[in-house]
Chains A and B, each alone.
Chain A
Amino acid sequence: QQPVQSPQAVILREGEDAVINCSSSKALYSVHWYRQKHGEAPVFLMILLKGGEQKGHEKISASFNEKKQQSSLYLTASQLSYSGTYFCGTVPRDSSYKLIFGSGTRLLVRP
């Protein structure tokens, strides 16, 4: 089952914050976050393995609520370089390896 991402798209001014949510109908082993710029490959941002775990990468951080089967990606003080499509990938507990990607959230940061 593909995880559901929200919002589908968001437009920010440089310096603004954003939250991208990822929700699964299945119990999860882990959540991955990737960013893809137009015409390029997805780039790994972070993995969250434990419920409640929060990880950070520059001004981008994420949390994982295992009980709710949800993860959120936080972008603070956004920069132009943050523009792209953000994908969450979930690994259900009933599959030890199958990473299933959401449909993505398009983020545009404007000057």
Chain B
Amino acid sequence: DARVTQTPRHKVTEMGQEVTMRCQPILGHNTVFWYRQTMMQGLELLAYFRNRAPLDDSGMPKDRFSAEMPDATLATLKIQPSEPRDSAVYFCASGLVRDGQPYSNQPQHFGDGTRLSIL
């Protein structure tokens, strides 16, 4: 079965350090989503890409978070500088949207997530 691949699976680092999380979407998918999951806030959408173009990153703290998709097989989420409140599980999901259709009628396939702990 095709899967979304995320690396690293776990990351522990100190406050102030740069953190980079990577995601390889399912081959052929044209949408990529970044989510953050915490006990308090649940699953929150951070950013959304369609055909590699960022369409929405309103869920991200702009001063420290950035999301990019340098090519169709790689999406990155960076935090610089990291803070303890960034500790969470970060999920990447991908999907396939047909031209002219909203993404919302297609399922999202989630990766296994990156468990991030900022000390």
The chain A residues found within 8 Å of chain B, CB to CB, are 2, 29-30, 32, 34, 40-44, 47, 49, 87, 91, 96-104
CA of A99 to CA of B33 in the docked complex: distance in angstroms? 10
Size bin of chain B's contact surface: 20 to 34
Output the nearest chain B residue to A49 by Cβ-Cβ distance.
Answer: B105
Cβ of B2 under 8 Å from chain A = no
Write out the residue numbers on chain B whose beta carbons fall within 8 Å of the beta carbon of A2.
42
Is the pair B91, A29 in contact by a Cβ cutoff of 8 Å? no
Cβ of B65 under 8 Å from chain A = no
Is the pair B107, A47 in contact by a Cβ cutoff of 8 Å? yes
Most-contacted residue by chain B among A2, A42, A104 (CB, 10 A): A42
CA of A104 to CA of B110 in the docked complex: distance in angstroms? 16
CB distance from A91 to the nearest CB of B (A): 4
What would 7 more interface pairs be, CB under 8 Å, given A41-B112, A97-B55?
A29-B102, A34-B110, A41-B91, A41-B111, A42-B110, A98-B56, A101-B42
